[in-house]
Structure 1
Amino acid sequence: MGTTAIAGTKTARAPHWLLLGPALVAGVAYLDPGNVASNVTAGARYGYLLIWVVVSANLVAWLIQYLSAKLGVVTGKSLPQLCGERIGSRAGRIAYWIQAEGVAMATDLAEVIGGAVALWLLFDMPLLAGGLITGTVSLVLLTVQSQRGPRAFEHVVIGLLAVIVLGFTWGVVVAPPDLAGVAAGLVPRFEGTGSVLLAVSVLGATIMPHAIYAHSSLTRDRFRDRRGLSTPTLLRATRIDVSVAMVIAGGVNVAMMLLAAANLAGVDGTDTLEGAHAALGESLGPVVATLFAVGLLASGLASTSVGAYAGAEIMQGLLRTRVPLLTRRLVTLIPALIVLSLGVDPTFALVLSQVVLSFGIPFALIPLVRLTADRQLMGQHVNRIWTTLAASLAAAALTALNGVLLWLVLTGA
């Protein structure tokens, strides 16, 4: 059935700020350890050169995340659910699930490793033990979501988001960047193939499939009980929610790059998380370095929780079966723990995870654009022609750029 039965006709007044939350949770995906590694490396190697890439990525992310959120609000279903309904055969659903689950595993790999590295930096904890703790905390947060509801889950993740903001922006307050350099960094340009590769890496680390899957689920769960609120009211609040989330995520990502550009430019070893932490300690002192590690820990804990939430929705939406919470969590966690137990270099594992994520971009973006442009599904809230055109161009560009990243990494170019 179309959206009219779902949208409802009742209206109610409610402050928009009371409806905020889903985008802030999904926005944590834009502040995961993969983003930290990409932005710090870009700032340390090229200074302010690639600031425009972060700004551009967040503008594109606004459109993509809004469409995902709108899909959940209007239809009352998630992107994985709708994909599962439209894939006719069970074999097709399983094949689609395998690639989507691979994306979830790659996401967890980066996030669990980030949390493990943070615990190592803060407490000299072995990486495997840190990975186990990070995974356990995410399981606890998933339990909060399933037993206490989406609002409680939002509160916890938003609390971690506040820690992330403090951890990654304090260094910029202590050592402000050069304003002329910042302004110059807003002008699109490159300096050699190395800067192109890093720019594509920044884009690849910013817009990730699991955030697209998760956002539609978050809005569906949050607004399942509408309490008389009309769909237009929820969509207006959603636009505000996405705008606030993207401003925060974009601001923190820019701050990471500025911190590295102002204080780590030309310093050896800053292309790893541990190297950046050590260099910050030498340059700005132990307080800034400690806050950086705390921000990294909060990033790992929050983003792996959202990633696990996305993985659970992917499994349930595509396989059409309910799986116990612990089982769903272990499906994506075990590969990350295996990588840590094998002693694989954390930075290499982060790069590998970004390569796997590159495969999943078109499988999330193309269905999202097609579904939100389907008038029978979306009713009066179907995309306008210019929205569909912009989203299609963004999907094509991101798919191509992630293909470039994949080719450059695999060929060693």
Structure 2
Amino acid sequence: MSEISGRQKTLYFLKFIGLGLVVGVAYVDPGNWGTDIAAGSKFGYSLLWVVVMSNLIGIFMQYLSSKLGIATGMSLSENCRENFSKHKTIGLWISAEIAVIATDLAEVVGAAIAIFLLFKIPLIYGAMLASLDTLLILGLEKFGMRKIEAVIIGMMVLIGCAYLIEINLAQPDWNQIAYHAVVPSLNHNSLIIAVGILGATVMPHAIFLHSAMTKTRKTIFDVLKTPKRIIRFSLMDTVVALVFAGLINGAILVMSAATFYQKNLAIESIQTAYQTLSPLLGNVSGLAFGVALLASGIASSVVATLSGQVIFEGFTKLRTNLWKRRLVIRSITVVPAVIALYYGANTLDLLVISQVILSLQLPFTIIPLVYFTNNKKIMGADYSNRILTKTLAIICIGVIIILNVLLVIFQFGLKL
């Protein structure tokens, strides 16, 4: 099937889309809320450019991930297992598992906060209740991948609608938004938040998942035959979905800047943000905030579970059930989360720290990804990265490593 009509292309594209929005949920998880609210409340609109830059890097890396899956028929973790030594594979596997645990910590804390805001259940008990989303995943698994995608996409749309309401109520300064979206501004104090935004946006587990989920479109591959057309579909799907996710991220920061920073209000936790929103913008704002946060926690938890399964099976070649995977990871993350909350840990700080961990792990995900997609033996001469793509990939890796190095330097109090 070398030639298809425009109408057929549209139909096949509509059948293909969905992967981008599923991985896009990882880009609006509770960790993003923590870093974006912290950025907006402490530094106004000045870190909006980091959201834009991180989103562009995220789109690029997710595109490479999907291209790897389409061209090789294997996920990123499977490619690591097949092409690297045993020791390198084990090291990368451990690194990826740490990323999943850090992600899940943010989801536990985020869901616990949302439960507290909406139902006034204490954070400690909310963290325990958050573990019950295992039952949700078990229920969704019975209906197949498309049903899971539909629920996740529905929650993504809900989050977007909630923040459309927030922005409308906040009435931000659009001139400042336009300026800071493209003009970089960074200092010693804002660096950790900037790195947190990067870690919250370009999510390692989402990169692993995207390469694996391309297999769910195998029937379309069989019809269209050529991977090039499918890669173009994937690029369009990824761009549309992650631009939408990026707009939500930007909206969170903008709302925080317009509502809190402009009024010199210190926001030390997401609970404080919620409690401050209602008096300033009305009860609808607070309700939208709480509902969107809960949807974010649940949806991103499902995505993290799928990612964890892909990572485990790809690196080890062992099969595992989603519910078993969820129980293991949640048992690891709930205990420290409950202990931290019991001793009064700042929830905003917990979310930011979890995202910084993800940023520090990110090079161990994207460097193998770029290596594989650059390699003609692995990808094939027709699908390996061209010079421009290779250059952009090196720039992205460089930016991430430089920000991480600066963070380590400043956190240890060293002088440049």
Aligned residues: 403
- SS of aligned partner of 1:327: helix
Letter in 2 for 1:27: G
For residue 33 of structure 1, what is the aligned residue in structure 2?
A: 30
Distance 1:191 1:20 in 2: 37
Distance 1:392 1:79 in 2: 18
- SS of aligned partner of 1:226: helix
Say whether the 8 Å CA contact 1:137–1:301 is kept in structure 2.
yes
Q: Deviations over 1:9-62 (max 9, x none)?
A: 766634222311101100111101111111112111222222222112111211
For residue 383 of structure 1, what is the aligned residue in structure 2?
A: 385
Alignment counterpart, residue 97 of structure 2, candidates 91, 101, 104: 101
Alignment counterpart, residue 82 of structure 1, candidates 67, 79, 83: 79
Distance 2:393 2:290 in 1: 36
Letter in 1 for 2:368: P
Alignment counterpart, residue 217 of structure 2, candidates 207, 222, 225: 222
Question: What pairs up with 1:272-287 in 2 under 5 angstroms?
Answer: 272-287=269-284
Identify which range, 120-129 or 291-300, moves more after superposition. 120-129
- SS of aligned partner of 2:82: helix
For residue 5 of structure 1, what is the aligned residue in structure 2?
A: none
Q: Deviations over 1:310-332 (max 9, x none)?
A: 11111111111112332211222
Distance 2:135 2:90 in 1: 25
Distance 1:336 1:157 in 2: 22
Distance 1:104 1:410 in 2: 26
Say whether the 8 Å CA contact 1:64–1:212 is kept in structure 2.
yes
Distance 1:247 1:367 in 2: 25
For residue 137 of structure 1, what is the aligned residue in structure 2?
A: 133
Q: Is residue 300 from structure 1 mapped to residue 300 from structure 2 by the alignment? A: no
Letter in 2 for 1:392: I
Cα offset, 1:183, TM superposition: 2.2
- SS of aligned partner of 1:148: coil
Question: What pairs up with 1:72-221 in 2 under 5 angstroms?
Answer: 72-89=69-86, 91-138=87-134, 140-141=136-137, 144-145=140-141, 147-190=142-185, 192-221=187-216
Say whether the 8 Å CA contact 1:37–1:271 is kept in structure 2.
no
Distance 2:124 2:311 in 1: 26
Cα offset, 1:297, TM superposition: 0.7
Judging changes above 3 Å, is the alpha-carbon distance between structure 1 residues 349 and 50 closer, same or farther for their aligned structure 2 residues? Answer: closer
Say whether the 8 Å CA contact 1:138–1:301 is kept in structure 2.
no
Distance 1:352 1:275 in 2: 18
- SS of aligned partner of 2:299: helix
Judging changes above 3 Å, is the alpha-carbon distance between structure 1 residues 208 and 411 closer, same or farther for their aligned structure 2 residues? Answer: farther
For residue 255 of structure 2, what is the aligned residue in structure 1?
A: 259
- SS of aligned partner of 1:392: helix
Judging changes above 3 Å, is the alpha-carbon distance between structure 1 residues 115 and 81 closer, same or farther for their aligned structure 2 residues? Answer: same
Say whether the 8 Å CA contact 2:110–2:294 is kept in structure 1.
yes
Cα offset, 1:410, TM superposition: 5.7
Say whether the 8 Å CA contact 1:10–1:228 is kept in structure 2.
no
For residue 19 of structure 2, what is the aligned residue in structure 1?
A: 22
Letter in 1 for 2:119: F
Q: 5+ unaligned residues in a row in structure 2: which ranges?
A: none
Say whether the 8 Å CA contact 2:196–2:359 is kept in structure 1.
no
Distance 1:323 1:196 in 2: 39
Letter in 2 for 1:253: N
Distance 1:203 1:240 in 2: 23
For residue 320 of structure 2, what is the aligned residue in structure 1?
A: 323
Q: Deviations over 1:91-135 (max 9, x none)?
A: 543333222111110110001210111001110113243234333
- SS of aligned partner of 1:77: coil
Judging changes above 3 Å, is the alpha-carbon distance between structure 1 residues 317 and 291 closer, same or farther for their aligned structure 2 residues? Answer: same
Cα offset, 1:397, TM superposition: 1.5
Say whether the 8 Å CA contact 1:150–1:218 is kept in structure 2.
no
Using the size of structure 2 for normalisation, the TM-score is: 0.90
Distance 2:149 2:189 in 1: 38
Q: Is residue 336 from structure 1 mapped to residue 337 from structure 2 by the alignment? A: no
For residue 352 of structure 1, what is the aligned residue in structure 2?
A: 353
Alignment counterpart, residue 308 of structure 2, candidates 308, 311, 319: 311
Judging changes above 3 Å, is the alpha-carbon distance between structure 1 residues 409 and 122 closer, same or farther for their aligned structure 2 residues? Answer: farther
Say whether the 8 Å CA contact 1:66–1:239 is kept in structure 2.
yes
Letter in 2 for 1:157: I
Letter in 2 for 1:215: H
Distance 1:311 1:410 in 2: 32
Say whether the 8 Å CA contact 2:306–2:322 is kept in structure 1.
no
Question: What is the identity percentage for the equivalent residue pairs of Structure 1 and Structure 2?
Answer: 36
Letter in 2 for 1:220: K
Q: Deviations over 1:191-210 (max 9, x none)?
A: 64223332222222211211
Say whether the 8 Å CA contact 1:73–1:223 is kept in structure 2.
no
Letter in 2 for 1:54: V
Distance 1:135 1:204 in 2: 24
Identify which range, 21-30 or 339-348, moves more after superposition. 339-348
Judging changes above 3 Å, is the alpha-carbon distance between structure 1 residues 368 and 191 closer, same or farther for their aligned structure 2 residues? Answer: closer
Cα offset, 1:301, TM superposition: 0.7
RMSD across aligned positions (CA): 2.2
Say whether the 8 Å CA contact 1:112–1:131 is kept in structure 2.
yes
Judging changes above 3 Å, is the alpha-carbon distance between structure 1 residues 92 and 64 closer, same or farther for their aligned structure 2 residues? Answer: closer
Q: 5+ unaligned residues in a row in structure 1: which ranges?
A: 1-8
For residue 4 of structure 1, what is the aligned residue in structure 2?
A: none
Judging changes above 3 Å, is the alpha-carbon distance between structure 1 residues 225 and 191 closer, same or farther for their aligned structure 2 residues? Answer: closer
Distance 1:84 1:184 in 2: 45
